[in-house]
Amino acid sequence: MIWGSRLIGLSFAIVIFALPFATLAQSVAELQRGIDEHNAQIKQLNDEIAQYQKQLTATSAKKQTLQYKLDQLNLNIKKTTAQINVLQNQISATQLRIKQLSGNITTAQNSIDVNQGGLAESLRSIAQEEARPIVLQLLSDGALPAIWNDLAVSQDFQEAVRTHIKDLSNAKKDFTNAKTETEVKQAQLLKEQKALKQQQGSLNAQKKAQSDLLVQTKSQESTYQKIIAQKKAQEAQFAASLSNLKTAYQRALNPSEIPTTGKGILAWPMDSVRITQQFGNTAFAASGAYNGKGHNGIDLAASIGTPLHAALSGVVEATGNTDTGGCYSFGKWVFIKHANGLSTMYAHLSQIDVSPGQSVATGQLIGYSGETGYATGPHLHFGVYVSTATQIIKLGQATQSTTPCSNVTMPVPTSLSAYLNPMNYLPGL
């Protein structure tokens, strides 16, 4: 019978719809096992990271010795290595999930295509049959009871068709949702890959700092303490030079040159912020540091290898390393000039990842924190300057004096008023 053959076709289509999902069951289960294994690794690594952080906190209370410094660097290296492994496992788990979703999407789409084709053919056949006059159908079938029976069956079939169309509509919706989820996972993967690159750079910076320390000290405690003493002495001379700039470099700063203050004009240069010294007449400055002229920036706690970011889009005006001149002031530094009349200074870096003349965007990686220059502990010195009142020159050229800092190049203000309080431009904490 005609209608019976149509129902057989529909049943065939429904079976096809379910079959591809069954054939993928094994591979889906394998993918899920892989995801679960990566998640287990992530949990174990996070437990290790917490333990390393606990040890780091304990060592921070110890005396400033060479062994303490090496222990701290080793713990940071282990912690960062574990963080890198966490990110790598997260990336792998995400990749497996994307593969899992992609398989589901492909299977769903194939089933939709097959069933839509089957339905279209069935509906065309029904339409052709229904278009025939009832007399011809009676003559062809040869019996009145048979045709009435087929008509009753056709009503059931049409209801099945409507139900199946609804199922296909739901399958399409699932397909769309799965596609959206895949796109979100892909964006997450790109973000994780970027974070992994930064973590790897952080690890390299920490390993280099450890290597440099061993070279400088030759593993001798006495040499390490001598370097610390030299840093303190050179910092005092550096501060005195800055506060005694010659008349040629001292001018009254026009108030119109100072950009309007406003919270959030600049972004924090680090993801996690803890201020260890404010701008201006701090307690440390009052104790005799900076030749009594106040702190010309803010200090932010940052372990060696912490990623640092541009506080605002701009152009890298200069980079430098005062350690090469035996100055022990800023150490490795980056100076960025911005379009709004501000310039920002990032000092005591362990590694610089930008070059003079390079354009940078807000939040772009520019280097990694350290303790080069005058820094008996790792941190970031962040300064804000009036661009029109700052020059990149040798300090001796400005002071016309001879000190260990005379031949090092750095940002030098033509007016001490060119130092601005970063807190007037950064977001509130």
Domain of 270, CATH number, reads 2.70.70.10
SS3 letters across 248-307:
HHCCCCCHHHCCCCCCCCCCCCCCCCCEEECCECCHHHHCCHHHHCCECCEEEECCCCCE
Domain annotation covers residue 397:
yes
Instruction: Tell me: do 20 and 110 sit in the same domain.
Output: yes
- The residue out of 188, 212, 236 marking a domain boundary is 212
Residue-wise pLDDT tens digits, 116-130 = 777 777 777 767 766
Instruction: Tell me: do 232 and 170 sit in the same domain.
Output: no
Instruction: Tell me: do 276 and 411 sit in the same domain.
Output: yes
Instruction: Tell me: do 303 and 347 sit in the same domain.
Output: yes
- Give Dmax (Cα) for the chain: 121
What letter would DSSP give residue 295? B
Number of domain units in the chain: 2
Residue-wise pLDDT tens digits, 262-306 = 999 999 999 999 999 888 776 665 665 555 566 789 999 999 999
Q: Is the pLDDT of residue 407 over 60?
A: yes
- The residue out of 184, 212, 240 marking a domain boundary is 212
Residue 408, Cα to own-chain centre: how many angstroms? 34
Which has more pLDDT, 414 or 137?
Answer: 414
Instruction: Tell me: do 41 and 179 sit in the same domain.
Output: yes
Rg over alpha carbons for the chain, rounded to the nearest Å, is 35
Amino acid 2: pLDDT: 44
Structural domain span for residue 113: 2-212
Mean pLDDT across 238-250: 78
Instruction: Tell me: do 17 and 53 sit in the same domain.
Output: yes
Domain annotation covers residue 259:
yes
Residue with tokens 């529909």: 10
Amino acid 7: pLDDT: 44
Domain annotation covers residue 429:
no
Domain annotation covers residue 111:
yes
Mean pLDDT across 76-85: 89
Alpha-carbon distance 63 to 41, whole Å? 36
